[in-house]
Amino acid sequence: MSDPKLVENILRSYREHGGINHLDGANLPSREAVADILRDLLRLVFPGFYGHAALPSDQIADGVAETLSSVSRKLVREIRKSLEYRRPAPATDGRDLNVPIEARRIAEDFLADLPRIRELLASDVQAAYEGDPAAMSHDEVIVAYPGLKAIAVQRMAHQLYQARVALIPRMMTEWAHSRTGIDIHPGARIGNRFFIDHGTGVVIGETTVIGTGVKIYQGVSLGAKSFQKDPSGRLVKGTKRHPDVEDGVTLYANATILGGDTTIGARSTIAANVFLTRSVPPDSLVFYEEADLRIVPKRRAGGEAVAFDYAI
């Protein structure tokens, strides 16, 4: 039997610290169910890589149909919980949302988008293979590179984030974060051929925009420089807080790029350990020389410098 005094003390804690209770509210999406959904989705986007047995090509149609049926049921159920937790505003005609119908619509739209997501992931696998001399095959990238797993989960979570599904997108990316050490917010917008090498400690914030062919190394942070507050001192949500990284940029280990008005120009290289809170032009090389931050033009294949004016 439990100690009645201990029970009462815990109940008193619930009353006094109610901000961390979830009592009498909507049933929340399940962490275990979201993890199961992700495992199903990874089996769909990388067939033959996430199962316990080989997948013969003559059985793939049945396998896809079975997995789609399973993931669809679970996804509709968890999205429905999310919509019941935080319902979107009523339609302009004043009618309230039909939660079961909306949950099924969102799930169907999401699953219909998987071929497009697979196209993006194919470009990410190719970027990793081409960008890492240690990569011996595409298969190795898929089974062994944590960056690819984090990117795959984020690309799928991003679709649900855009559909304004509460909780589930963050649960998805935190599942990947706990397994890879790579923290990519589902709101980040990421172009194709994205490669995270090594990956541990990478942080990419919600309003980050990343172009095509970007490569980043371990410990890179794309974060916020400051937080806007309302008159009562509370943080304002939804503002642009994180940097833009244009096409073809390379960010080396432990570089920190901060600020919603910071843009790293196309084809630039940011050296290891650089701390940057201002924009740099395209074709820049940014590094420390002793204690001074240097921003200089890179040289193109013919050896000529890329000319631009920039105060250092």
CATH value at residue 268? 2.160.10.10
10 Å CB burial of residue 156 (0-12, 13-18, 19+) is buried
Q: Whole-model pTM? A: 0.89
**Residue 301 reports pLDDT greater than 70:** no
Query: Which is more confident, 301 or 2?
Result: 2
pLDDT at 15: 87
Domain end, chosen from 162, 181, 200, is at 181
Q: Does residue 17 lie within any of the structural domains?
A: no
Same domain, 138 and 268: no
CATH value at residue 42? 1.10.3130.10
Same domain, 34 and 177: yes
> For 55-67, what is the mean pLDDT?
87
pLDDT tier, 309 (very low <50, low <70, confident <90, very high otherwise): very low
**Residue 88 reports pLDDT greater than 90:** no
Domain end, chosen from 130, 160, 181, is at 181
Rounded to whole angstroms, what are the CA distances from 278 to 102, 238, 259?
Answer: 42, 21, 8
pLDDT at 312: 36
For residue 147, which of 45, 67, 218, 41 has the smallest C-alpha distance? 218
pLDDT tier, 36 (very low <50, low <70, confident <90, very high otherwise): very high
Mean pLDDT of the chain: 91
pLDDT at 234: 86
**Residue 116 reports pLDDT greater than 50:** yes
CA distance 297 to 284: 5
> For 106-128, what is the mean pLDDT?
98
Q: Does residue 10 lie within any of the structural domains?
A: no
Range of the domain at 230: 188-312
Same domain, 36 and 160: yes
Same domain, 173 and 193: no
CB of 195 closer than 8 Å to CB of 126: no
pLDDT at 89: 61
Q: Does residue 5 lie within any of the structural domains?
A: no
Q: Does residue 16 lie within any of the structural domains?
A: no
For residue 159, which of 196, 109, 193 has the smallest C-alpha distance? 109
3-state SS string over the chain?
CCCHHHHHHHHHHHHHCHHHCCCCCCCCCCHHHHHHHHHHHHHHHCCCCCCCCCCCHHHHHHHHHHHHHHHHHHHHHHHHHHHHHCCCCCCCCCCCCCHHHHHHHHHHHHHHCHHHHHHHHHHHHHHHHHHCCCCCCHHHHHHHCHHHHHHHHHHHHHHHHHCCCCCHHHHHHHHHHHHHCCEECCCCEECCCCEECCCCCCEECCCCEECCCCEECCCCEEECCCCCECCCCCECCCCCCCCEECCCCEECCCCEEECCCCEECCCCEECCCCEECCCECCCEEEEEECCEEEEEECECCCCCECCCCCCC
10 Å CB burial of residue 89 (0-12, 13-18, 19+) is exposed
Domain end, chosen from 150, 181, 212, is at 181
Same domain, 45 and 176: yes
CB of 282 closer than 8 Å to CB of 267: yes
